[in-house]
Amino acid sequence: MCVLLQDLTRQPTAASPDPWPTTTLFAEGQATCGGVPLHEIAERFGTPAYVVDEADIRLRCRDYRTALPDATIAYAAKAFLCRGMADWIRREGLALDVCSAGELAIARSTGFPTERMIFHGNAKTPAELREAIGVGRIVIDNLAEIHRLAALVPPGRRQRVLIRVIPDIEAGGHPKIRTGAEGQKFGLSIADGEADAAVDRVLGQPELELVGLHCHLGSQIASAEPYRRAARIMVEQLARIRDRHGVVLPELDLGGGQAIAYLEGEHGLDLREYAATVPTEISRACREYGLPIPHLIVEPGRSISGPSGVTLYRVIAIKSGPGGVFVAVDGGMSDNPRPGLYDARYTVRMIGRRSQSGSRTVTVVGRHCESGDVIARDVALPADLRPGDLLGVAATGAYHHSMASTYNATGRAPVVAVADGQARLLVRREEPDDLLRRDVGL
């Protein structure tokens, strides 16, 4: 199934204004992705269903490696992870950023190289720290875990760590996904001295090897400028550590957060701009401070998996009234909580048949018992839309499957991969029997 994928190459491009996966084609009311008609996927696997374009994901991995050939590209698993995805990331030569024992277990079950993993988390449990011992890097996010981690390292070994600091830069598409400024839960403050204290403590632990600094500004960042400013601040901190301790740290991790397009006409972060801006600023700042250039690590998540995904729904009912037209589908906030959390907006199309009428503005809503269960507000869909029609929602490859719930005891949707004209199941649908197996109260 992956034979043709080996021949896919391209140069990194400016962020596309098209939110659909690379291989998507629309014609005569039909839509195909990865060479597979989407209506056939709905018929075979049911709805709701997540569809992921394997070629799209793997091309985006290669885009990052081509744009930043001297950097380590660590895919952020929190965006979307299953064993199939971990295998693609491994085969494309990327590292993997995980933030829980569960994500670590999924990666390990595929044989993902431990040395190519970075373990994150602002509140890692003792059990998670124990499981993480031996991964390539553990990111220190609070002072308490330094001694806790050191105590877990077996005699004669050293655990490589990064320290996450707060560069105090506001960036990101929504206040709830901005993580680089003071006043939020992630990282150690430069301003109040916590970052310095963390460096002191780690350097005083022979079981730990401090290899660099880490920061993460937030998500849906559409400009390279915040990253440029972060790079300079982080190099300043590397110079400060050298001056205070006589230690030159070899690595600098600038996190992820690169934006994608969710609506037609939107642009995500231009990877070429990022690749031209960030390494240049690091080199400039290192010259000014007399430092060797550190090895760069970046952690894209959404920008690799997000555009690859399409979610399929069946229309259940249509209501018209003073509040507008509501199109209710068989999924909702259990498979996409982002509109409720972040006011996220999406591109929606009817697929599977050719419309014989014009369009009208509707709100696509879910089936759950919440008035906030909205998938897409004010979208144009055919005026002759009717129950049973199939809808596709673009750019749902990140933070959909990974944030899905069983609200109203609704089983989570399956994940179906498409490539080279074939579809295969990556994650099966969660059925009522699965929910009952967890309920041991009787």
Write the pLDDT tens digit of every residue in 284-316: 999 999 999 999 999 999 999 999 999 999 999
pLDDT value of residue 321: 85
Whether residue 439 is contained in a domain is answered as no
DSSP secondary-structure letter at 431?
P
Q: Is the pLDDT of residue 95 over 80?
A: yes
Are 323 and 399 found together in one domain?
A: yes
Whether residue 257 is contained in a domain is answered as yes
Q: Is the pLDDT of residue 68 over 90?
A: yes
Mean predicted lDDT score pLDDT of the chain: 92
Q: Is the pLDDT of residue 256 over 90?
A: yes
Are 310 and 182 found together in one domain?
A: no
What's the burial of 414, exposed, middle or buried (CB within 10 Å: 0-12/13-18/19+)? buried
pLDDT value of residue 36: 98
Please give the average per-residue pLDDT across 333-343, as a whole number. Answer: 94
What is the tally of structural domains in the chain?
2
Q: Is the pLDDT of residue 6 over 80?
A: no
Q: Is the pLDDT of residue 12 over 90?
A: no
Q: Is the pLDDT of residue 2 over 50?
A: no
Q: Is the pLDDT of residue 407 over 70?
A: yes
Residue 418's domain spans which residues? Answer: 4-52+306-433
pLDDT value of residue 397: 98
Q: Is the pLDDT of residue 13 over 50?
A: no
Percent of the residues in the chain that have a pLDDT greater than 70, as a whole number: 93
pLDDT value of residue 275: 97
Query: Residue 129 sits in a domain of what CATH number?
Result: 3.20.20.10
Residue pLDDT, tens place only, 121-136: 999 999 999 999 999 9
- Name the token pair of 284: 């400039």
Whether residue 141 is contained in a domain is answered as yes
pLDDT value of residue 4: 47
User: Which residues are the active-site residues?
Assistant: 369
- Name the token pair of 321: 């009234």
Are 270 and 147 found together in one domain?
A: yes
Going by pLDDT thresholds of 50, 70 and 90, the confidence category of residue 347 is: very high
Q: Is the pLDDT of residue 82 over 60?
A: yes
Please name which of 415, 398, 413 lies closest in space to residue 78, comparing C-alpha atoms: 398
Are 283 and 344 found together in one domain?
A: no
Going by pLDDT thresholds of 50, 70 and 90, the confidence category of residue 1 is: very low
pLDDT value of residue 178: 47
Q: Is the pLDDT of residue 5 over 60?
A: no
Going by pLDDT thresholds of 50, 70 and 90, the confidence category of residue 3 is: very low
Query: Residue 342 sits in a domain of what CATH number?
Result: 2.40.37.10
Q: What is the distance, to the nearest Å, from the Cα of residue 219 to the centroid of all Cα atoms in its chain?
A: 9
DSSP output for 115-136: GGEEE--TT--HHHHHHHTTSS
Last residue within a domain, chosen from 284, 300, 316: 300
pLDDT value of residue 81: 98
Last residue within a domain, chosen from 300, 319, 334: 300
Please give the average per-residue pLDDT across 12-35, as a whole number. Answer: 83
Are 271 and 312 found together in one domain?
A: no
Are 166 and 245 found together in one domain?
A: yes
**How are beta strands 251-253 and 208-214 bridged, if at all?**
parallel
Would the CA dihedral through 327, 331, 337, 338 be positive or negative? negative
pLDDT value of residue 18: 83
104 Cβ contact partners less than 8 Å away, ≥ 6 residues apart: 98, 117, 119, 128, 131, 132, 135
Are 12 and 153 found together in one domain?
A: no
pLDDT value of residue 229: 93
Residue pLDDT, tens place only, 182-203: 566 778 988 889 999 999 999 9
Q: Is the pLDDT of residue 10 over 70?
A: no
Are 275 and 346 found together in one domain?
A: no
Q: Name the one residue in this structure whose structure tokens are 């006043």.
A: 183
pLDDT value of residue 373: 96
Going by pLDDT thresholds of 50, 70 and 90, the confidence category of residue 11 is: very low
Residue 405 and residue 396: Cα distance in Å, rounded? 15
Give the three-class secondary structure for 95: strand
Whether residue 64 is contained in a domain is answered as no
Going by pLDDT thresholds of 50, 70 and 90, the confidence category of residue 99 is: very high
Q: Is the pLDDT of residue 170 over 60?
A: yes
pLDDT value of residue 182: 54
Please name which of 302, 329, 306, 298 lies closest in space to residue 316, comparing C-alpha atoms: 329
Going by pLDDT thresholds of 50, 70 and 90, the confidence category of residue 432 is: very high
pLDDT value of residue 292: 98
Whether residue 62 is contained in a domain is answered as no
Are 142 and 287 found together in one domain?
A: yes
